[in-house]
């Protein structure tokens, strides 16, 4: 057919999955084109996800620490938040990273095309070039012919159908835009994204209610770890409503009036200045004209793939949020490398055993592999080692003696199969547990590894020694 551009590999979507795939493929010698509708690379993660949320969570942590410092003998005044400067700081962080990505694409001679892509057939993608993108053929269409393709078009926030169109009702992207400092805010959805944003806005002084239709916040980690998180967060949020749903929202001039339903739901409508909908994310699979290329898209918009990340059409791969849970950047990047290597003719397969999860809240909660709750439900014979941070000198010194490090071992082989940590820095520590699982380490391997003292990471070694029955009580 007629094509304006030819390539060996086309990557659709410039998020962590897409840019990682394009860079790896280019490094392996494939002539690669990357199509992205927005002006910067980085996708949800860099522009409106992982990175801006962490930039703001860091600021929230600083505010928190300062507020609690008087107990340590140091007092600060009330925080004065300049929201414009805070927003500028967040934008600067994003800018550094997206500029870096653009440079990396250029250095690898990955050609980027800015526009919205739609499949024409199994070897052609039509791109509606984004207006104002500075491209010569602004607003026009361009057809790209490809030999192979990697779909990395990601996901977007679920928009609840009963919510009216109103600028005071936002998803995570709107919340990260930091347009206002609400007095009263409702967060719909008690998952990681909702709780991270709730943590940020609480530190800016908002009075926040969280509503979750399930019977617990933060699905993923073991409940005993979440309980510790809940205790530490008891004062942070005004109300946490479990097993309750929002049934209607009326947008009035004086605020958003929300009605709830459920056993312990507030009887009266509640008034809020801002509502964040964080009730999950849906893959963008249904919006790409994938059927034109013969690619099967599931009912919910996910695209099924094999262990090489190939769709039912073998020369078209899919990676990242669009192929399924967990919707996490590090999963997308790992899959990207598998797909790019397979496209370049290598025998790569997705064979990671575990994918860690982290809630970057205060404190952090991190988990990986099989949790205690899950193992028990599955009736698996396990041994659980729990190391309370009250026995860690560093945790006490840091004011984090409430934390816990927990490791789960297979009862017979004593090999580690899972772990969970609650406490500051948990996300930075969980990588060691993931590595131990991938390497098939047992309690002795971990316990006899010399960990630096005094550190929070030391609690992983100490937990393993608990499992091994030889805890040396080194505070
Ligand atoms: P995306 O990042 O969604 O990228 C897809 C790209 O494709 C987008 O840039 C989109 O514009 C483009 N695109 C889509 N359709 C088309 C089309 N037709 N034509 C052209 N371009 C198209 N994950 C973590 O691991 N850690 C975190 O701390 C974390 N925090 C998060 C916080 C928030 C608020 C949110 C919303 C998400 C967070 N995530 C986090 C999840 C993470 O952002 C995603 O898992 C990750 O971005 C998925 O990468 P991806 O490449 O699959 O897709």
pLDDT tens for each residue of 375-391: 999 999 999 999 999 99
Predicted confidence (pLDDT) at residue 474 exceeds the cutoff of 80: no
DSSP code of residue 423:
S
CA-closest residue to ligand 1 atom 32? 49
327 lines ligand 1 (CB under 6 A): yes
How would residue 468 be classed by pLDDT, with cut points 50, 70 and 90? confident
249 lines ligand 1 (CB under 6 A): no
At 265-312, the pLDDT tens digits run: 999 999 999 999 999 999 999 999 999 999 999 999 999 999 999 999
Distances from the Cα of 13 to the Cα of 184, 319, 327, 337, 453, angstroms: 36, 10, 15, 15, 44
* Confidence (pTM): 0.96
Average pLDDT of span 26-30:
98
pLDDT at 131 (0 to 100): 79
How would residue 469 be classed by pLDDT, with cut points 50, 70 and 90? confident
Average pLDDT of span 149-166:
97
Predicted confidence (pLDDT) at residue 230 exceeds the cutoff of 80: yes
Angle at 86 between CA 80 and CA 90, to 5 degrees: 155
Predicted confidence (pLDDT) at residue 473 exceeds the cutoff of 80: no
At 195-215, the pLDDT tens digits run: 999 999 999 999 999 999 999
Omega before residue 363 within 30° of 0, cis: yes
Catalytic residue check, 453 = yes
At 313-359, the pLDDT tens digits run: 999 999 999 999 999 999 999 999 999 999 999 999 999 999 999 99
pLDDT at 471 (0 to 100): 47
CA of residue 49 to ligand 1 center, whole Å: 7
Predicted confidence (pLDDT) at residue 435 exceeds the cutoff of 60: yes
pLDDT at 138 (0 to 100): 58
Predicted confidence (pLDDT) at residue 100 exceeds the cutoff of 90: yes
Q: Is residue 201 within 8 Å of 175, Cβ to Cβ?
A: yes
CA of residue 18 to ligand 1 center, whole Å: 9
pLDDT at 264 (0 to 100): 95
Average pLDDT of span 177-193:
97
**Percentage with pLDDT > 70 across the chain:** 97
pLDDT at 445 (0 to 100): 97
User: Phi and psi dihedrals of 156, rounded to 5?
Assistant: -140, 165
pLDDT at 137 (0 to 100): 59
């Amino acid at each position: 057919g007629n094509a304006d551009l030819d390539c060996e590999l086309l990557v659709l979507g410039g998020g962590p999955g897409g840019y990682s795939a394009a860079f790896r493929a280019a490094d392996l010698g494939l002539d690669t084109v990357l199509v992205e509708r927005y002006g910067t690379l980085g996708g949800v993660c860099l522009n409106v996800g992982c990175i801006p949320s962490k930039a703001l969570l860091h600021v929230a942590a600083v505010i928190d620490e300062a507020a609690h410092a008087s107990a340590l003998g140091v007092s600060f005044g009330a925080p004065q938040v300049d929201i414009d400067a805070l927003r500028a700081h967040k934008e600067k962080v994003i800018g550094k990273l997206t500029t870096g990505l653009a440079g990396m694409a250029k250095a690898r001679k990955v050609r980027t095309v800015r526009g919205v892509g739609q499949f024409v057939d199994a070897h052609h993608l039509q791109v509606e070039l984004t207006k104002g993108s500075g491209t010569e053929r602004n607003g026009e269409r361009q057809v790209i012919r490809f030999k192979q393709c990697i779909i990395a078009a990601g996901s977007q926030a679920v928009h609840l159908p009963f919510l009216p169109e109103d600028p005071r009702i936002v998803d995570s992207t709107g919340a990260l835009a930091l347009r206002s400092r609400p007095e009263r805010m409702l967060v719909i959805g008690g998952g990681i994204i909702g709780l991270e944003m709730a943590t940020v806005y609480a530190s800016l002084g908002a009075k926040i209610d969280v509503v979750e239709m399930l019977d617990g916040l933060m699905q993923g980690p073991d409940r005993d770890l979440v309980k510790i998180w809940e205790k530490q967060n008891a004062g942070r949020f005004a109300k946490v409503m479990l097993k309750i749903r929002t049934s209607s929202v009326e947008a009035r001039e004086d605020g958003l009036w929300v009605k709830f339903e459920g056993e312990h739901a507030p009887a009266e409508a509640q008034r809020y200045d801002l509502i964040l909908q964080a009730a999950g994310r849906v893959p963008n699979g249904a919006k790409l004209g994938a059927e034109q290329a013969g690619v099967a898209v599931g009912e919910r918009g996910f695209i099924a793939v094999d262990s090489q990340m190939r769709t039912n059409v073998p020369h078209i791969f899919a990676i990242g949020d669009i192929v399924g849970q967990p919707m996490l950047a590090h999963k997308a990047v790992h899959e990207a490398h598998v797909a790019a290597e397979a496209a370049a003719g290598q025998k790569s397969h997705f064979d990671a055993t575990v994918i860690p999860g982290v809630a970057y809240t205060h404190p952090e909660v991190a988990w990986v592999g099989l949790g205690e709750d899950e193992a028990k439900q599955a009736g698996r014979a396990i041994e659980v080692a729990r190391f309370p941070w009250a026995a860690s000198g560093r945790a006490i010194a840091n004011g984090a003696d409430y934390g816990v490090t927990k490791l789960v071992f297979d009862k017979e082989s004593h090999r580690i199969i899972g772990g969970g940590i609650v406490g500051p820095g948990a996300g930075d520590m969980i990588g060691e547990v993931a590595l131990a699982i991938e390497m098939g380490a047992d309690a002795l391997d971990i316990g006899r590894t010399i960990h630096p003292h005094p550190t929070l990471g030391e609690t992983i070694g100490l937990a393993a020694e608990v499992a091994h029955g030889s805890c040396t009580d080194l505070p």
